[in-house]
Structure 1
Amino acid sequence: MSDKPITHDIKERLGKYTRLLREIDNQYERLGRMEISMAAPPGPDMTGMPRGSGTPTDRTGMMVLRKMELEEQIKERLAEEREERAALEAMIRQVENPDERAVLRLRYFDRADWDGICAVLFSDRQDYLERIDSYQNRTYKAHGRALLRMAEILKETEAPAVKGSKRR
């Protein structure tokens, strides 16, 4: 028997998904910086010192090529993200409790923090501000139950593939 907790695999998968979202964010930031750099070409050289070989169009062409490569990388990552989001959403839809589904979507798709998730779920309650710690704990517990259910769903979806591979 494995020493890993039952939720290990689903946590790994959700963590990988959020790292992919972060990678996409970083690439967009990089693209934005690249576009700013391209829009502001270097000024004239007033020092009288010789410049390196090549013309400004070489630099511009190189920057355009890098930008196109980065845009292609972003497209590939976005396709990966859409595919994984669809797979995760299919599993989330199988979670019966709507609060547990909400916690998963808010935490992993929207990347909300715990305070924000708690507010979405419970801020309409009259005693929310007085009992915020209690509601925070309820949020954590809903997340834990949701992870357990997602782990079960993941195991169920992977089980047929394992059984099918033994028949060969």
Structure 2
Amino acid sequence: MAAEKAETGPLWWAGVATLGLVFLAYGYGILPIARERLVTVELEAPLSIRQVLIELSGRNPDSYYTQYVDASLPDRGKVVIRPVAKILIPEIETLKRGQVRFLVDPSSLRIYEAAIDGRIVQSYVSSAGRQRSHAFIALGAGVFCVGVGVLGLAPLLRARDKKQARPNE
């Protein structure tokens, strides 16, 4: 005999909805901040830069390089800042002298814009666009998972409403 399919229970649907809420929180958390809220960090070249390999494992393994730059923020002291994910700023690695200005998100310590002696080498528009696309993907996945979870739990709510509507005899 063939084994009967197990019915998906309410715990599974609640898990899907919870996963959707996690995606929504993550997507909201990585949305780029407004340019006016970024902090300006000015450094003199040569810069202390380390290039680090980021390896992601799982179903779709991926790897990319990022740059860690030692800097000082006004309220936080010495920190390590880095560009938005999967963006490298090669011009700052070989710089021997000059003024480098970064626009940095003070909470996530991400570099959104870089300029060398007034010449922009990494623009806010491209960095924010990259972050925004990642955030919208996560937000879309979150809305989808919450919707599927709620639809899966809907029969339970309807059954409860029917029980409450019956008069007691």
What TM-score bracket applies, with the shorter chain setting the length? Answer: 0.3 to 0.5
- TM-score of the superposed pair, with normalisation by structure 2: 0.40
- TM-score of the superposed pair, with normalisation by structure 1: 0.40
Going by fraction, where is strand more abundant, 1 or 2? 2
